[in-house]
Structure 1
């Protein structure tokens, strides 16, 4: 393999990272071909050949994805502010583009998102990020830690994984109402089932906020629970926080058989360290925990 072939994926990954970090800036052909150190006369074809997605559509989808997260999960930001952040000079231009891609006006999406249509809209973006440019993990990426018990408040999600966004909206609203915002309360997800092998109606996930406060009766059926103490294999995942499957597969398929370790009787779980859209998507950090005996 030539040096050019070896460095080609990293140059394309550099472009994706630059887009994530500069969604508010000019992302034209001249700029992005310069980031990749490719000729601007060929770069758009190279990008299309690599990701099966035109460059301008990739950029638009990246901006609209961030906008959709803000609409659904950042209620304190106005639609006008979100439109400007997405690069639109006027809210109605943003509304037209958003509706064309996502199938709902921004105001409707904010109050009642159609997450199944949302998943369809952003599948090309997720494919480009996660399947065509996968992260390759190494045994040295896994640490074994002994973690303390952490009391948590739990909101259960039961049902189709594509509707987790609706449960997450309720969870975020409840956290804010009781002052358990992520800056003072750790955030965990507990994966009771594998979405690849579980019928959608049987899928189970717990959304958890760390707290030692007593859980009072509430309309959201929040209950008290705990992340148990014990040894865990921990894999740090940077970017791609909405798709932890490759990291989980690495832990179970590659790392665990070679490690000589045995899993403990508690599900795989993760801790969300930094969150998209508060940080650029490639800067989101999640730690995945595989409990060990």
Structure 2
């Protein structure tokens, strides 16, 4: 029975991965039931029973998430192109759906995203994914590396985790202006605090790009920093890397006590190797580094 349940869940996960990869294609019940190898006459009820929302709503939210990221962070892409790629026949239809979902027009969101209603709107999507998409890690997933020192330029985020989208937007704009793109310069996040135990006003996280470029007045609020050399436990996470809490919890709760290792005085951090929406969410890759003595 356990094997049967695992097989059933794997078929459902395959559908979610397919939706992530094919947000711009037709995603009918016939297509998705075929991906899962379930009867099209029962698949919709199976999907709702498994994930708690309809296939149509899940697809709509997945497409809107990708579209909103492109609006906020890919300013060179037109609203019309984003609307058509999201499956809408016209920019007007996309704008109506976007405003209904987030309370802002696409152009307004692009200029000044209101992240609180955006996060709330995707609660059902996150809840659906959490039912079967939770990552499980083992000690074999962790490697120990000797990391070389990396000079970085840092944009500090201070304040509620829910407002980090605006910091990311400014960080991306600075990178574009300086030519330090993800293809040429590595991207890091340094996590100073646990978002669950830190008051919003005290939450700290750094957005970093690897560079030894000298920073001047024109680069403010960027500042120079260093990710130090040393041993690190490294855990690679593939898919849905916007939330690395499960990976961090595994390192602290399971791996570290059993390893006999001791941590050193530098925060846990990650390197982002590929990014949504440049790649589907299921294909985004990040490596989490736990500094060791």
**The TM-score by the shorter chain falls in which range?**
over 0.9
Give the match for residue 16 of structure 2.
16
- Aligned partner of 1:124 in structure 2 is 124
What residue number does 1:222 align with?
A: 222
CA distances 1:90-117 after superposition (whole Å, capped 9, x unpaired):
0000001111111111000001111010
Match of residue 182 from structure 2: 182
CA distance in 1, matches of 2:218, 2:192: 24
Q: Distance in 2 between matches of 1:158 and 1:86?
A: 33
Q: Distance in 1 between matches of 2:3 and 2:288?
A: 34
The answer on whether the counterparts of 2:47 and 2:53 sit within 8 Å (CA) in structure 1 is: yes
Partners of 1:72 and 1:111 within 8 A in 2: yes
**Structure 1 residue 170: Cα displacement:** 0.4
Between 1:140-149 and 1:211-220, the stretch displaced more is 211-220
Counterpart residue number, 2:191: 191
Contact 1:193–1:203 (8 Å) recurs in 2: yes
Q: Could you say what secondary structure the match of 1:40 adopts?
A: coil
- Aligned pair in 2 of structure 1 residues 131, 195: CA closer, same or farther (>3 Å)? farther
Name the residue aligned to 1:39. 39
| 1:83 alignment partner in structure 2 | 83
What secondary structure is seen at the aligned counterpart in 2 of 1:218? Answer: helix
5+ residue gaps in structure 2?
none
Q: Note the C-alpha offset of 1:76.
A: 0.6
Superposition CA RMSD, Å: 1.0
Q: 1:63-92: per-residue Cα shift (whole Å, max 9, x none)?
A: 000000000000110100100110111000
Shift of 1:273: 0.2
* Corresponding residue of 2:105: 105
Q: Which residue of 1 aligns with 2:212?
A: 212
Tell me the CA shift for residue 8 of structure 1: 1.2
Residue aligning to 2:160: 160
Q: Distance in 2 between matches of 1:9 and 1:145?
A: 34
Instruction: Give the equivalent residue in structure 1 for 2:7.
Output: 7
After superposition, the C-alpha distances for 1:20-75 in whole angstroms (9 at most, x for unaligned) are 11111111101101111111111111111111111100000000000000000001
Alignment coverage as a number of residue pairs: 293
Aligned to 2:281: 281
Instruction: Answer with 97-106 or 267-276: which moved more.
Output: 97-106
Q: Any unmatched runs of 5+ in structure 1?
A: none
Aligned equivalents of 1:65 and 1:254: distance in 2? 33
Structure 1 residue 215 displacement after superposition? 1.0
Query: For residues 174 and 2 of structure 1, what CA distance do their matches in structure 2 show?
Result: 51
Could you tell me which residue of structure 2 aligns to residue 246 of structure 1? 246
Alpha-carbon distance between aligned partners in 2 of 1:130 and 1:170, rounded to the nearest angstrom: 30
Tell me, yes or no, if the aligned pair for 2:238 and 2:285 is still in contact at 8 Å: yes
1:143 maps to which residue?
143
TM-score where L is the length of structure 1: 0.98
TM-score, normalized by length of structure 2?
Answer: 0.98
Checking the alignment, whether the CA contact within 8 Å between 1:151 and 1:227 is kept in structure 2 is yes
CA 1:106–1:140 in structure 2 vs 1: closer, same or farther (change >3 Å)? Answer: same
Residue 114, structure 1, aligned to residue 114, structure 2: yes
Once residues 166 and 118 of structure 2 are traced to their aligned partners in structure 1, the CA distance between those partners, rounded to angstroms, is 12
Q: 2:63: which partner in 1?
A: 63
Query: Tell me, what secondary structure is at the counterpart of 2:42?
Result: helix
Superposed displacement of residue 2, structure 1 = 4.7
Query: Matched residues in 2 for 1:161 and 1:187: separation?
Result: 19
